[in-house]
């Protein structure tokens, strides 16, 4: 049944696209109303397929297509639907502060006994920060080279003054990192201040004796799990929010606003390939990882991650494969879960790329200093959110709000987010599997005799 609905949707979409192109080129004398009906019928077929699959991603695609079509056919009516996107954005924004607090406290205080884990913990954190920072820099470089967001202009609004990135002195930039009032930081959306407070709180909690630390750690873990479920519930409203936001945007700007998304998608996948070949591959060679065996070991978890766009879905198999590969169980048990919080290479690359894409769409010029502060914000705020659906979008939204960038361009990312999520999640899992081997080799726990014979010439 699903395959037949998919086939019908493809046929309907093909007919609608062909008729619209031929009519636009004046090769087929069809009234405009006929091509509009054909396009809506194609969207209804896609909706029928989405219903059969019960897939949120498919419904987000339906919302994108329906919003773009309504904005094209009835721009006046579409202009009244902006509130749908605004409501959805507010639901996402209310998640950010408790989500960051809960996940960072659990991620840091939950692994607080560095005396017990010793060099393993310190080396893991150093490796994670270095590699994820390189990923962020590659994302920044890729979007600065491709300029995928240029040429798109947002409609003027009452909040136009917030689109200007006001320059600050270096002293002011540093001062603004630290909160004077955590409630004020939450209310004004200062994500970096929330993150700094959460890190200091987690460090203080780590110094508290175990009997008194346990209840607060349990609360933070419960809070983070609750916010995961909260996020899942809010994401059910994503198709409606995308529909309203895209309808409003296309109604003002036309369908041309969607074209840069293809350029953005290509930019991200090229950047991911560059990261794998120029960062992960040299690291593997440097520590003498047996590449053929390693690729066979990671093939299944990486494929699971790519197909499901979920790092968590691949975690059990990744742990099993890394242990079978020869990494000691205690190393796997520490490095992989910690890496899921601190070593999200693909997500880090995407977040830096998406944040600058938003700035380019908004036409906001950014100095090197402002981009450096953005890099620092993403480097810290991206930690601990691997378990959240569309976690990277939440982080990008939080960072955009912190730097007074408009949030409307974020909805442009929703239309292709599943395709981007698949790639970045697969790289997350690949990077964490490699980290297990690197840390084990660094600790002298990975058998050298198995590696020397299996590295391809």
pLDDT tens string 363-379: 888 778 888 888 887 87
* Confidence at 219, pLDDT banded by 50, 70, 90: very high
- Whole-number CA gyration radius for the chain: 23
Over range 244-271, report the average pLDDT: 79
Alpha carbon distance 69, 119 (integer Å): 57
pLDDT for residue 92: 75
pLDDT for residue 203: 81
Alpha carbon distance 240, 229 (integer Å): 19
Give the chain's mean pLDDT: 78
% of the chain at pLDDT higher than 90 = 11
Alpha carbon distance 93, 226 (integer Å): 15
> Are the beta carbons of 122 and 335 closer than 8 angstroms?
no
Model confidence at 116: pLDDT above 80: no
Tell me the helices (H) and strands (E) count for the chain, helix number first.
23, 0
Over range 79-94, report the average pLDDT: 81
**Among 42-46, 119-123, 152-156, 197-201, which is the least confidently predicted range?**
152-156
Query: Residue 68's closest CA among 250, 256, 241?
Result: 250
Alpha helix segments (H runs only) across 180-328: 182-187, 191-207, 210-235, 238-253, 260-275, 281-286, 291-308, 311-325
Over range 156-179, report the average pLDDT: 53
Instruction: Give the number of other Cβ atoms within 10 Å of residue 131's Cβ.
Output: 23
Calculate the CA 123 to chain-centre distance.
Answer: 26
* Confidence at 138, pLDDT banded by 50, 70, 90: very high
% of the chain at pLDDT higher than 70 = 82
pLDDT for residue 454: 41
pTM, 2 dp: 0.65
Q: 172 vs 262, which has greater pLDDT?
A: 262
Alpha carbon distance 314, 311 (integer Å): 5
Alpha carbon distance 380, 361 (integer Å): 24
pLDDT for residue 272: 96
pLDDT tens column, 308-329: 676 766 777 888 889 889 888 7
pLDDT for residue 153: 58
Give the largest Cα separation in the chain, rounded. 79
Model confidence at 452: pLDDT above 50: no
Find which of 106-115, 233-242, 291-300, 415-424 is predicted with most confidence, using mean pLDDT: 291-300
* Confidence at 162, pLDDT banded by 50, 70, 90: very low
pLDDT tens column, 30-53: 787 888 888 888 888 888 888 887
Tokens standing for 131?
A: 């590699």
SS (H, E, C) 332-366: HHHHHHHHHHHCCHHHHHHHHHHHHHHHHHHCCCC
Over range 335-362, report the average pLDDT: 84
Over range 140-167, report the average pLDDT: 62
Model confidence at 387: pLDDT above 50: no
pLDDT for residue 109: 77
What is the DSSP-derived secondary structure letter of residue 277?
I
Alpha carbon distance 205, 107 (integer Å): 12
> Are the beta carbons of 268 and 149 closer than 8 angstroms?
no
Over range 54-73, report the average pLDDT: 82
**Among 156-160, 218-222, 364-368, which is the least confidently predicted range?**
156-160
Model confidence at 207: pLDDT above 60: yes
> Are the beta carbons of 78 and 251 closer than 8 angstroms?
yes
pLDDT tens column, 392-431: 777 787 778 777 787 777 777 776 776 788 789 889 999 9
Q: 102 vs 219, which has greater pLDDT?
A: 219
Model confidence at 98: pLDDT above 80: yes
Model confidence at 285: pLDDT above 90: yes
Q: 215 vs 379, which has greater pLDDT?
A: 215
């Amino acid at each position: 049944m699903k395959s037949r609905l998919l086939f019908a949707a493809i046929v309907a979409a093909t007919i609608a696209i062909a008729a619209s192109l031929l009519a636009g080129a004046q090769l087929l004398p069809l009234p405009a109303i006929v091509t509009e009906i054909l396009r809506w019928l194609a969207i209804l077929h896609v909706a029928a397929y989405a219903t059969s699959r019960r897939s949120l991603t498919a419904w987000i695609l339906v919302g994108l297509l329906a919003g773009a079509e309504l904005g094209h056919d009835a721009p006046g009516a579409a202009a009244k639907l902006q509130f749908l996107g605004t409501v959805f954005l507010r639901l996402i924004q209310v998640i950010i502060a408790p989500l960051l607090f809960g996940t960072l406290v659990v991620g840091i205080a939950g692994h607080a006994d560095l005396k017990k884990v010793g060099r393993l913990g310190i080396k893991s954190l150093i490796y994670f920060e270095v590699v994820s920072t390189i990923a962020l820099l590659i994302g920044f470089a890729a979007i600065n080279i491709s300029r995928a967001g240029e040429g798109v202009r947002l409609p003027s609004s009452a909040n136009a003054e917030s689109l200007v990135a006001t320059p600050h002195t270096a002293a002011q930039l540093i001062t603004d990192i630290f909160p004077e009032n955590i409630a004020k930081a939450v209310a004004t959306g200062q994500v970096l201040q929330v993150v700094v407070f959460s890190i200091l709180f987690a460090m203080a909690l780590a110094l508290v004796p175990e009997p008194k630390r346990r209840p607060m750690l349990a609360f933070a873990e419960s809070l983070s799990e609750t916010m995961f479920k909260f996020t899942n519930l809010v994401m059910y409203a994503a198709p409606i929010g995308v529909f309203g936001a895209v309808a409003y945007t296309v109604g003002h700007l036309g369908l041309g606003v969607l074209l840069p998304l293809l350029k953005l998608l290509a930019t991200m996948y090229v950047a991911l390939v560059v990261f794998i070949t120029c960062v992960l591959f040299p690291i593997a060679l440097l520590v003498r990882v047996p590449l053929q065996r390693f690729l066979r070991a990671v093939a299944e978890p990486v494929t699971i991650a790519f197909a499901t766009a979920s790092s968590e879905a691949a975690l059990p198999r990744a742990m099993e494969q890394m242990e079978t590969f020869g990494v000691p169980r205690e190393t796997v048990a520490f490095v992989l879960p910690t890496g899921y919080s601190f070593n999200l290479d693909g997500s880090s690359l995407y977040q830096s790329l998406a944040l600058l894409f938003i700035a380019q769409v908004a036409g906001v010029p950014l100095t090197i200093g402002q981009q450096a502060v953005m890099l620092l914000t993403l480097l810290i705020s991206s930690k601990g959110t691997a378990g959240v659906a569309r976690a990277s979008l939440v982080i990008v939204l939080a960072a955009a709000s912190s730097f007074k960038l408009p949030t409307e361009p974020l909805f442009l990312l929703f239309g292709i987010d599943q395709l981007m999520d698949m790639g970045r999640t697969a790289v997350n899992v690949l990077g964490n599997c490699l980290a297990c081997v690197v840390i084990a080799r660094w600790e002298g726990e990975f058998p050298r005799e198995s590696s020397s014979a299996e590295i391809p010439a």
